[in-house]
Amino acid sequence: MNRFSIWTYAFILMVLSIGLIYSLPNLYPAKPAIQIAYTDSGKSADQILLNQVQDILEDQSIGVESVGLKDNNIIAKFNSFDDQLAGKAALQNTLLDRAIVALNLEPSTPQWLRDIGGGPLKLGLDLSGGVHFLLEVDIDSALDNRLESLLNEYRKKFRDDRINVESSRKEGKELLFSFASDEDYNKALRMFNEDNITPLGTPFYDLKPNSVRNLVEVAYSQNAIKEIRDYAVGQNLMTLRNRVNELGVSEPIVQRQGSSRIVVELPGVQDTTAAKKIIGKTANLEFRLEAASTTSRLRKEEFDFQDERMGSAFLEKNIIVAGERVTNASSGFDESGFAQVNITLDMQGGRAMQKATNGNIGRRLGVLFVEQKNKSVLIQDAEGNDVIEQTSYIEKEIISLATVQAVLGTAFRITGVGSPQEASELALLLRAGALAAPMKFVEERTVGPSLGKENIELGVRSIIIGLLSVIAFMLFYYRWFGFAANIALFANVVLITGFMSLLGATLTLPGIAGIVLTIGMAVDANVLIFSRIREELKEGKDPQTAIQEGFSRAFVTIVDANVTTLIASIVLYAIGTGPVKGFAITLSIGILTSMFTAILGTRAIINLMYGNKNIKELRV
């Protein structure tokens, strides 16, 4: 009566085997390591840098387990944290600005497990240690940049329409235009009003006309300011994510906080200087026309090419479009089979590009890569200790200077970018390199590896105490049935660990709390089942029937209770952030695995214990 088919047992064993195999990598502790990458994000680590790293570590007699290339970076593994810190100091003092040197933890999972996709649980910042930054986007600078662009745009419009402007300037958060005559004033006012019509009917500009003085004051409306703020924060958020991901930091967290702030967490990175360099890799782009030979020195600037072999070129000071107007970029090939980059701008950027290139076919359009960099110098303090002093500066280099072959709009292409690999890298910079506004560090803190280790130890201790307490209660109160439930409980913990590792979920301290809660919920289902079996026995039913009825009648209640909890955990994940998401993930996985082990697993064990026996009396 109480027997499973061979296929049901095979299915249970298969699920348990998968959970066990993918939980095994967690038995292999991560090794202290250092990740080294070129400061130039477009340049992958090579054999030259690898040889330099090996020589530096060897000269300083620092014990290293292995040094090798991995995912465009160099990974050096050490046997102890002391060697790791000594290696970091030696590499940083020698390489300075040429490379980013960041502390990391490298998994020591056997190759056969890695071959099937096995890996240890990814630990959050509170468990693995790392750095936390809170950055604030400078909205005022974003507005100033927009106003400067708007001022240049209207100056060109007035020249094209032959509207005589006596003066045009930016004062604070407003643009002031003074016109030579009533006719010029009226024509300009009509132009402003036409541009101020938006699809939603809300004005983009606040206009303050003064017909007596032929003066118009232009300022962004509150709706426009909100739109600019949201765009700047959203663009910076995407840029930070792309840049951090490009540098291979494990499980970074980059998310918006409030109206103008961004939180960045880099687990495993223990050096705020290295982390700031990673954050500082965000950059901007500027599109400018090449200056003609007759252009005065006041209206042009000289810039070096990123490829030093190409020398330098003069570009106009007027910026046509900045990188925040780029909405998409992809690499491809032109009709002759040469590499090119396809660019897509937003509507405002497309209008500016169209006006700038109209009448300038045959001239060359330059793309400037603007990057904030840090310069490090090794000095000695008053006590004679080596100290790295840093200063920041802005570097602008030409990454492309191609001929304009037609009037450009929201979509165009850049040719003459070199190899397909270089075109792909340029497209990446255009997509991810645009910083809509500067940012400042509001808060920074480091979670040390010792604190993370302490959190793990306390979390594991809480799981063990909770597990042992539940095991003792189940054995005392339900005897052999409790023994079966305890075996299923062990299987549940293994399944949670295995499937979280398989899915690549990140374990945080609240996540450990979710596991502890799941342990209690897992036996809750068995308590319902065993209590139902007791009731069936009290009604005089034979043991086999009582077991059958106990599992079947408790099934609906168990499913209802777990589904409602699962819905709550999904909502927590959807609207929560950071720790709340970590708790929701482990709770959701735990609910699903506990239903499997409590209903199928426990019953399979009880069927093996009692299913083929003629039982006269059953103690539950």
3-state secondary structure of 316: strand
Give 494-549 pLDDT, tens digit per residue.
999 898 888 877 777 788 888 888 887 778 888 888 888 888 888 888 778 888 88
One-letter amino acid at 580 equals V
pLDDT score recorded for residue 146 = 82
DSSP secondary structure letters along 233-292: HHHHHHHHHHHHHHTT-SS-EEEEETTTEEEEEEET---HHHHHHHHTT-EEEEEEEBPP
Q: How many CA atoms does the CB half-sphere of 179 hold within 13 Å? A: 24
Q: Where residue 202 falls among pLDDT bands split at 50, 70, 90?
A: low
Statement: residue 113 has pLDDT above 60: yes
Out of 341-355, 375-389, 450-464, which region has the weakest mean confidence (pLDDT)? 375-389
Q: How far is CA 510 from CA 123, 452, 578, in A?
A: 12, 13, 10
Is residue 246 predicted with pLDDT exceeding 80? no
DSSP string, 457-510: HHHHHHHHHHHHHHHHHHHHHHHHHHHHHHHHHHHHHHHHHHHHHHHTPEE-HH
- Residue identified by tokens 């330098």 is 312
Q: What mean pLDDT do residues 186-190 have?
A: 87
**Residue 288: pLDDT over 60:** yes
**Predicted local distance difference test score (pLDDT) of residue 452:** 63
Q: What is the pLDDT of residue 567?
A: 92
Cross-strand pairs, 440? 136
| pLDDT above 70: residue 247 | no
Average pLDDT, the chain: 80
Domain 283-434 in the same topology as domain 140-226: yes
pLDDT band at 270 (very low <50, low <70, confident <90, very high): low
The CA-CA-CA angle for residues 149, 154, 159, to 5°, reads 130
pLDDT at 440 exceeding the cut of 80: no
- For the cut 70, the answer to whether the pLDDT of residue 421 exceeds it is no
Please give the backbone phi and psi of residue 289, each rounded to the nearest 5 degrees, phi first: -80, 150
Give the pLDDT confidence of 300-324 residue by residue, as tens digits: 889 998 777 788 999 988 888 887 7
Q: How many CB atoms lie within 10 A of CB 48?
A: 8
Q: Which residue has the higher pLDDT, 247 or 328?
A: 328
Minimum mean pLDDT range among 328-337, 374-383, 482-491: 374-383
CA dist 340 and 418 (Å) reads 8
Provide the pLDDT for residue 200: 57
> Are 79 and 66 a contacting pair, CB within 8 Å?
no
The predicted structure's pLDDT at residue 426:
65
The mean per-residue pLDDT over the stretch 105-118 comes to 82
Of 577 and 236, the structure prediction assigns the larger pLDDT to 236
**Is the per-residue pLDDT at 25 higher than 60?**
yes
Rounded CA separation 184/160 (Å): 13
Confidence of residue 124 (pLDDT cuts 50, 70, 90): confident
Mean pLDDT to the nearest integer, 243-265: 75
Mean pLDDT for the stretch of residues 559-572: 87
Phi, psi of 416 (to 5 degrees): 70, 30
Predicted structure pTM score: 0.57
Write out the H or E segment, with its range, that includes residue 121: none
pLDDT band at 272 (very low <50, low <70, confident <90, very high): low
Mean pLDDT of 69-83: 83
Label residue 347 by pLDDT band (50, 70, 90): confident
Pick the CATH number of 6-25+448-610 from 1.20.1640.10, 3.40.50.300, 3.90.400.10, 3.40.50.1110: 1.20.1640.10
Give the bridge partners for 73, in sequence order: 70
Q: DSSP labels for 401-427?
A: EEE--S---SEEEEE---SHHHHHHHH
**3-state helix/strand/coil string of 147-196:** HHHHHHHHHHHHHHCCCCEEEEEEECCEEEEEECCHHHHHHHHHHHHHHC
- Specify whether domain 31-106 bears CATH 3.30.70.260: yes
Averaged over 18-41, what is the pLDDT?
82
Residue 28 has pLDDT above 60, yes or no: yes
- What are the boundaries of each domain within the chain? 6-25+448-610, 31-106, 140-226, 283-434
Q: Does the pLDDT value for residue 248 go beyond 70?
A: no
CATH class of 283-434: alpha beta
What's the mean pLDDT in 6-16?
89
At residue 465, the pLDDT reads 87
Mean pLDDT confidence for 425-440: 67
Averaged over 236-257, what is the pLDDT?
72
pLDDT for residue 9? 85
The residue count of the chain comes to 620
Neighbours of 221 (CB within 10 A): 16
pLDDT band at 14; cut points 50, 70, 90: very high
Please give the pLDDT value at position 513.
82
Distance between alpha carbon 487 and the CA centroid of its chain, in Å? Answer: 39
Q: What is the percent of the chain where pLDDT is above 70? A: 86
Cα Dmax for the chain:
111
Confidence band for 17, pLDDT divided at 50, 70 and 90: very high
Question: What top-level class would CATH report for the domain 140-226?
Answer: alpha beta
Comparing 275 with 409, which gets the higher pLDDT? 409
